[in-house]
Amino acid sequence: MLRLNSGVIFVVNERSKITEMRFVRIIGILIFAAAAAFEVLAQDHDRPIAAATGVQAERGDLSKSVQIFPNPVAGESEYVYVRFDLFKAQDIRLVVHNIIGNEVPAEIEVTSEYEIRIRVKDLSSGYYLLSMKDKTSRFQSTLKFLKK
């Protein structure tokens, strides 16, 4: 049974215990799903559908050339590393977002020609989205990582 009361959903199970789920958590999950579903549309909005489909497959292969580690990030780890096989790190723009889409300030440093590290020690526990864009090839991708 669901009852709506001032922005909160209450779920009553068979033992009559009430579990509370705030809209913020639901919105965060929806934003995360929407970011993944509409990523290609945002990249290829000016191309015909047939061309966008071809680009999507090509970009899907390109996104496999990006690695993020360690993932999940343990509480003791100070940094998350992003390694690129096909892109130079100095050409990549990275932005860290929390699960509800707000930009999170993070210290980002290019450590080598193909690697970037992000300081996550001061971030609170939870899921984060890492959006990246290559300045030269117009490649865009979003990865997620978990800070424990």
pLDDT reading at 132 higher than 80? yes
Cα–Cα distance between 72 and 44 in angstroms, integer? 31
Cα–Cα distance between 11 and 2 in angstroms, integer? 5
All structural domains of the chain with their residue ranges: 65-147
Q: Are strands 79-84 and 115-119 parallel, antiparallel or unpaired?
A: antiparallel
Residue 137, pLDDT score: 85
pLDDT reading at 25 higher than 90? no
CATH of the structural domain 65-147, one choice from 3.40.50.1820, 2.40.50.140, 2.60.40.10, 3.20.20.70: 2.60.40.10
pLDDT reading at 28 higher than 70? no
Residue 31, pLDDT score: 56
